[in-house]
Amino acid sequence: MSLSYSRRKIATAYLFILPGLLLFLIFVIYPIAKAFQMSFYEWNIMPGKPNEFIGLGNYIRAYNDPIVRLSLTNTIVYTIITVPTGMILALLSALLLNQIRRGKVFFRTLYYLPVITSWVIVSFLFRYFFQSPKGILNNLLVNTFHIIKEPISWLQNTPTAFIPIWALGIWKEIGWAMVIFLAALQTIPTELYEAAELDGANAWKRLINVTLPLIRPTLVFVLVVLMIGGFNVFTSVFLITNGGPLQRTEVILSYMFHQAFDYLDFGYGTAISFLLAAIIIILSFLQIRFLRKPEEII
Amino acid sequence: MMEHFVRLFRKNISKVLIYLGITCGAIVMVTPFLYMVSTAFKKHSYSLAFDPGLIPANPTITNFIKTWKMNNFQLYFRNSLFVAITSVLFVVLVSSMMAYAFARFEFPGKEIIFFTILIVLMVPNMVCLIPQFLLAKTLGLRNSLWGLILFYVSGMVPFNTFLLRGFFETLPKELEDAVLIDGGSYFTVYRKIILPLSTPALATISIFSFLGFWDEFILALTFIDDTSKRTLPIAIATLQGQYATEWGWVFAASIIAVIPVIIVFVSLQKYFVGGITSGAFR
């Protein structure tokens, strides 16, 4: 009786997970496994033609490919520039917003607008601002504020071509991080601040000694998510510079995309994407391991 | 009004400074959108005399009418709606079923499946892009909206299952036990207890999934060649590619595409904030 009952329960459980599991296995797990396999092959897109196993060939090629190094550097620089800047601005906004009552929801909505707007739209928007010679920004700098004499060809040169990409990255991540910080700040009991104030701690000391240590898990969480997002940067680069001029602004994923869909070099493309996946997985583990205190690990 | 401000200023200078800081930040966040709207209301924003001002000299809705009537734009809007809504329905159904099994049942393979889901959450989506493209080709799912839906749903199942399992585990078991003792099946429990009690969590994942599907660009870009099967992000990118200097058209189309998002966001704010703070929604 009890055996058949538990068997029936197991069968029911499988019925519940079956649709999701099938989709997951066919459309997610199989492609990941397949990508891993492809990364060891000279993959032929012509049907019927054999794919040649080349072992670590694609990975060795990536290691020696100057554009892979450049796009890796660009990706890391993007992350290093956008993540701390975005986090500091988001924390500052959250600290300010946490002190007001009137208009809190209104301002939170405004700050969150960039987050909910599609990457495609905001990428074009930033490309439009940075156009040359007749772009909004050039016009402001040359005609309105007279800061420069000649319009800058932002997108045609490096490093200026990175500026719209970085600016967009920062602008788009502030709202998300701010909402998370705001929620964390609201969990801090006001008594703690009052006690610190009685002890003569000024606003800066209260921030350093009370607020930041208490929201430490949130800081780590936001840092991890934003860094992963930073390493995954693609759409903005693809639509603002498309890796140009002369591949100077290429990031890992845009280079992988170009290798795969412009040069149809699928094996090489998957190898590049696995390099990124490895970096991201190692980073996530490292950050969680080193930045969290032992008792905070779930 | 002025008096009020003066009194406020005297009473609390720091409060004024706080509002000043917040307002400056808000201006930075909103200005790009103002330029987008302004450009969309300008006629021939680039080809004629360049009008860089924020307020259009002669505002016009020509760009909106033109893009809305442009070949297939309404079809693309319908495609996007169809793909996003259908995907949301499926992803909510499939993820909630799976999450219920993980929250309430013991079965062989449970740990390994759940662990796999957690690991996959760390793998960048674009790692799968090339094999997914080949798979879609093999299965005849390229240039098909249903193909997009299948890949979209599958991609979101791991994360939504993970979140919903966490939520389902917080639900009290007593009600479920009562239904089971009365002879109800597990499907009755799922339908009559779990789903109704989880409306906030389901609403949250529906909204975020909808936004993700509505804005999805990369898969649609690689899967869809057939012009009649495009979704809005692809349509906007194509518009930009074809009429590079007609920014008014690009932004009019963008505003039309953003309107559903703003409606969803503003009307369902409470689920939004709950969702952002409960998980890794971005």
Q: Which residues from B are below 8 Å from A232, CB to CB?
A: 124-126
Residue A94 has pLDDT above 80, yes or no: yes
Q: What pLDDT is recorded for position B49?
A: 53
Domains and CATH numbers, chain A: 63-296 (1.10.3720.10)
Residue A47 has pLDDT above 80, yes or no: no
Q: Which of A28, A119, A125 sits opposite B128 (nearest CB)?
A: A28
| Fold exhibited by the domain B71-242 | MetI-like fold (1.10.3720)
Contact at CB, B218 and A175, closer than 8 angstroms: no
Distance CA B213, CA B211 (A): 5
Contact at CB, B102 and A93, closer than 8 angstroms: no
Q: Which of A16, A231, A266 sits opposite B100 (nearest CB)?
A: A16
Identify the closest residue of chain A to B98 by CA–CA distance: A17
Distance CA A278, CA A273 (A): 9
Amino acid sitting at position A14: Y
Q: Which of B157, B211, B236 sits opposite A24 (nearest CB)?
A: B157
Q: What pLDDT is recorded for position B210?
A: 93
The helix (H) or strand (E) run that includes residue B228 is: none
Q: What pLDDT is recorded for position A289?
A: 72
Q: Which residues from B are below 8 Å from A282, CB to CB?
A: none
The helix (H) or strand (E) run that includes residue A250 is: none
Residue A192 has pLDDT above 90, yes or no: no
Q: Which residues from B are below 8 Å from A274, CB to CB?
A: 127
Distance CA B164, CA B162 (A): 6
Confidence of residue A296 (pLDDT cuts 50, 70, 90): very low
Instruction: Please report the residues numbered 110 through 129 in chain B whose beta carbons come closer than 8 angstroms to any beta carbon of chain A.
Output: 110, 113, 116-117, 120, 122-129
Q: What pLDDT is recorded for position A297?
A: 41
Hey, of A125, A185, A215, A288, which one would you mutate to test binding to chain B, going by the most B CBs within 10 A of its CB? A125
Contact at CB, A120 and B157, closer than 8 angstroms: no
**What average pLDDT score do residues A240-262 get?**
93
For B218, half-sphere exposure in the C-beta direction (CA atoms, 13 angstrom radius) is: 27
Q: How many CB pairs under 8 A join A and B?
A: 242
Residue bearing the bigger pLDDT, A237 or B46: A237
Contact at CB, A35 and B131, closer than 8 angstroms: yes
Question: Distance (Å) from the C-alpha of residue A159 to the closest C-alpha of chain B?
Answer: 22
Q: What pLDDT is recorded for position B55?
A: 80
For B128-171, what is each residue's pLDDT tens digit? 899 999 999 999 999 999 999 999 999 999 999 998 998 899 88
Domain ranges of chain B: 2-62, 71-242
The count of other CB atoms within 10 Å of the CB of residue B266 is 11
pLDDT values of chain B reduced to their tens digit, one per residue, 282 residues: 677 777 666 667 888 889 999 999 999 999 999 999 988 888 765 544 566 777 877 788 888 888 888 878 999 999 999 999 999 999 999 999 999 999 999 999 999 999 999 888 888 888 889 999 999 999 999 999 999 999 999 999 999 999 899 889 988 888 889 999 998 899 999 999 999 999 888 988 998 899 999 999 999 999 999 999 999 999 999 998 888 778 888 999 999 999 999 888 888 877 776 666 655 444
Distance CA A87, CA A99 (A): 19
B54, with CB counted inside 10 A (0-12, 13-18, 19+), is exposed
Distance CA A54, CA A42 (A): 6
Q: Which residues from B are below 8 Å from A13, CB to CB?
A: 101, 105-107, 110
Contact at CB, A16 and B155, closer than 8 angstroms: no
Distance CA B13, CA B24 (A): 17
Instruction: Please report the residues numbered 175 through 194 in chain B whose beta carbons come closer than 8 angstroms to any beta carbon of chain A.
Output: 185-186, 190
For A267-291, what is each residue's pLDDT tens digit? 999 999 999 999 988 887 877 676 6
What value of ipTM does the predicted structure carry? 0.87
The helix (H) or strand (E) run that includes residue B215 is: helix B199-215
Q: What pLDDT is recorded for position A32?
A: 93
